[in-house]
Amino acid sequence: MSENRNDAPLREDIRQLGGLLGSTIHDQNGAAVYDIVEEIRGLAKDARGGDTAAGQALEERLAALPDEWIVPVVRAFSQFLNLANIAEQHHRVRRSRAWLRDPESGPLRGSLEEFFTRMLPETEPEALHATLAGLNIELVLTAHPTEVMRRSMLQKYNRIAELLEKGDRLDPTPEEIEEVHQALRREITAAWETDEIRRRRPAPQDEARWGLAVIEQTLWDVVPHFLRRLDRMLLRHTGKGLELDAAPIHFGSWMGGDRDGNPRVTAAVTREVCLLNRWQAVELYEREVAALVEELSVRTANAELRELVGDAWEPYRTALKVVRDRLIATRHWIEARLAGRRPPDALIYWHAEELRAPLMICYRSLLETGSEVVAEGRLKDLLRRLATFGMTLMRVDIRQESGRHTEVLDALTQALDMGCYEEWSEEERQAFLIKELANRRPLIPPDFAPEESVEEVLATFRMIAEFGADSLGAYVISMASRPSDILAVKLLQKEAGVSSPLRVVPLFETLTDLQGAADCLTQLLDIPWYREHIQGEQEIMIGYSDSAKDAGHLAAAWALYQTQEQLVEVAKEQGVRLTLFHGRGGSIGRGGGPTHAAILSQPPGSVDGRLRVTEQGEVIQAKFGLPGIAERNLELYATAVAEATLKPPAPPAAEWREQMGQLADSSCQVYRHLVRETPEFIDYFRHATPEHEISHLAIGSRPARRRPTTGVEGLRAIPWIFAWTQTRLLLPTWLGVGDALHQALAGNAKQALQQMYQQWPFFRAFMDMQEMVLAKSDPAVAAWYDARLVPEALHPLGAELRQKHAQTREMVLTVTGHAQPLDDAPVVQRSVGLRNPYVDPLNLVQVELLARIRHGQEDDLREALMICINGIAAGMRNTG
């Protein structure tokens, strides 16, 4: 693997952090533990270099580890991988800034500077400004059931990143270098002495607090800085800046609102989370206004401000003190609500416009009285934060499974002697729902006393009526398949007295539902009541996770592409503006991967200046935990959506579509044959992966299964993929792809496939992600699990899967023309190579732990297993 001089600072950071970790282990745990860690590290590196004897010695050494040494050994390798991640994230920031010192190197692809340089020669400035200023991108943060690391550890790792940045300052003195080195040593020692694993399963409120911490610690400052840069670039290149109320990127949340299959998310929980979001927002605004009170001692004011404050000596301070006091009153009011009290009505801030109004008076006064430079500072940043975050930081989406609404309506119609809603045809359901939507009288009688599950759904709608669209975002219906699923939620909102109904977003997830999505939308838009109600705006969510679990990655990817095309066409024909909400995960098998390439590979017309997308908990820290990385990801979203809007890709050629259809059909058959139709597959899966053990760990608020079944169909997509990632086979991401490509190549399609790879962004992005998977996976590691954990009768199935992996690797490289996976992405290639010798020992220890746990030693070894899971996830990065 070739070295790159630009990576020398990264290698130095990793060397320094690894050395400090080694010193810490020696000091805190003694020479014996340090020596065994070093011995294992040396054997793992030699084994990766091809030394068979070292590999055998590594297996024997780890199998013989005494119980008391297992935890410090796995912690050592886990912490090194986390430190390597920090160093790599910091290096990404370093690389993104390098062009400022060396303009000839050019800005990074997808940066604002690169985007404007490339787009201006072929785009009218007016179109460029209109597109960027009109962007509507919402990143929806979600909790993640495989995130095991505590917030205290994340905070320590963030401080380590800050120290690395401090060490990069130009011409540091020897004293400054030593100061940073000692501070790093303190943080690494503190991290080593901190329990990094949760001891209890987090509640939904805990997950919501974790999401709020990302806003408070990073995005609160990054957003105004990013908007300043965008404003400057627009002004410089188009002559017109960004409006103060522009919010090209804003944030939503599923934390505390996603009740699909999670009985712990109730109406009371969502109410509490909405209040927590508001409390955090008010607390942050209070800080900013207090700072403005200190800063704005300016005496000159315009007539508008004077009308507000009279002849006050310091008019801005006088006006802002009133704002500050009202924010304090609002915070106290929310705290009372959170404590379960009903505080008396008070003059509080509930709507963003109420806070914006006095701030704008101050802003206009500064502009009109010659203090524009003052207005353009902290006050402007605050106004932009308000436009982005509102009074709730993130609006919470409600997600519920369609069957729960059917249950409610069935209970209601039976109680009213109207029949059994659940047994009605789709036509009968629609007729009933449309009639009741137009009826002014209430449908639900005051004495209606349903079962607890029905009452909980109704309580959720009452909560929606209480908080409304200021705190809540969309109402997402999972497992939606027909118009009545959407109309049912419209009716339940009406019956609850929701004055400003939430937009209702059907989520099409399975292959069958994706294929029927366009027909469902057509039927909906043919209903006059519905057509009038949506006012020309429709949002639809498409699910990457369950579609891939249902049909395999390749078939799901093609179905998602076609579904988007069809939905865009229906919306265009009907004159409706469509927003697509992408339910992507962090892993490749759930739609994850590089943001920029993913957006640019979408079908033409499917982006159109607007995009909603989930940001899964496992990647939130990686993408938004550090300021430099967070800003880089915001600009990647902005530039990719703008480019996809201004220069959408050409539609694929007819022969490419036909070829892709054949690939999808072939891969789906292979995937379903193995996963669903091979009787021994589930038994093999349970033995060969830690799926069972993962479901019993305290690493997420919701259950690993939607329903108590023994098959894959009841398992959530996240633990399904996460379990295979732990063994490094990553089976769901590639199964069926190799067989489909082999069949196509055998039919003389090599030239066509290579042309598709070179010229079609969608197919190129898919194949590049396959290379990523193949580079990170290792069937030899998966074989360790089989040898120790799988009954001998199931070994042939494991061998067959590993053979299919080898075939997939060969077929993918034939199409891409690369000698090794990621040959055209050397930075990622080197990153994978760096991690392997540190992940290998964790896999071997995990095999040993699973073997011991399955023989009755679970209580003693649970902590070590959790650390192993965490370490392997850190080494694999996009994991579930």
Residues annotated as catalytic (active site), given as ranges: 144, 549
Interatomic CA distance for residues 388 and 394, integer angstroms: 9
- Closest to 85 (Cα-Cα) out of 845, 635, 625, 616: 625
- 818-822 long-range contacts (CB < 8 A, ≥24 apart) are 818/771, 820/775, 821/771, 821/772, 821/774, 821/775, 822/771, 822/772, 822/775
Taken in order 588, 547, 583, 148, the sign of the CA dihedral is negative
Tokens of 588: 């490749």
- Closest to 583 (Cα-Cα) out of 616, 561, 629, 630: 616
Burial letters for 637-652: b for 16+ Cβ neighbours within 10 Å, e otherwise? bbbbbbbbbbebbeeb
The residue type found at 804 is K
Interatomic CA distance for residues 149 and 196, integer angstroms: 6
Residues pairing with 258 in the sheet: 399
Q: Which residue has the tokens 């036909």?
A: 658
Burial letters for 493-521: b for 16+ Cβ neighbours within 10 Å, e otherwise? bbbbebeebbebbbbbbbbebbebbbebb
Interatomic CA distance for residues 164 and 160, integer angstroms: 6
Instruction: Using only the alpha carbons of the chain, give its radius of gyration.
Output: 28
| Distances, alpha carbon 601 to alpha carbons 116, 236, 508, 594, 636, in Å | 20, 29, 20, 11, 14
Q: Is 76 helix (H, G, I), strand (E, B) or coil?
A: helix
Instruction: Kindly give, in sequence order, each residue whose CB lies less than 8 Å from that of residue 175, ignoring residues fewer than 6 positions away.
Output: none
Instruction: Kindly give, in sequence order, each residue whose CB lies less than 8 Å from that of residue 56, ignoring residues fewer than 6 positions away.
Output: none
Taken in order 708, 711, 715, 719, the sign of the CA dihedral is positive
Instruction: Kindly give, in sequence order, each residue whose CB lies less than 8 Å from that of residue 863, ignoring residues fewer than 6 positions away.
Output: 71, 197
Can you list the positions of beta strands (E) in 456-516? 472-478, 504-508
Q: Which residue has the tokens 């924010």?
A: 327
- Closest to 57 (Cα-Cα) out of 75, 73, 79, 40: 40
Q: How far is CA 663 from the centre of its chain?
A: 29
Maximal CA-CA distance, the chain: 90
The residue type found at 13 is D
Q: In degrees rounded to 5, what are phi and psi of residue 478? A: -80, 155
How crowded is residue 603: how many other Cβ atoms within 10 Å of its Cβ? 24
- Closest to 628 (Cα-Cα) out of 126, 140, 242, 93: 93
- Half-sphere exposure (Cβ direction) of 461: Cα atoms closer than 13 Å: 22
DSSP 8-state symbol, 171? S
Instruction: Kindly give, in sequence order, each residue whose CB lies less than 8 Å from that of residue 449, ignoring residues fewer than 6 positions away.
Output: none
By the 8 A CB rule, do 604 and 650 touch?
yes
The residue type found at 516 is G
Q: Report the run of H or E that residue 793 belongs to, with start and end.
A: none
By the 8 A CB rule, do 803 and 738 touch?
no
Q: What's the burial of 71, exposed, middle or buried (CB within 10 Å: 0-12/13-18/19+)?
A: middle
Residues pairing with 401 in the sheet: 478
Tokens of 771: 């290379």
For strands 472-478 and 504-508, give the pairing.
parallel
Tokens of 856: 């009755």
Q: Give the end-to-end CA distance of the chain in Å, rounded to a whole number.
A: 28
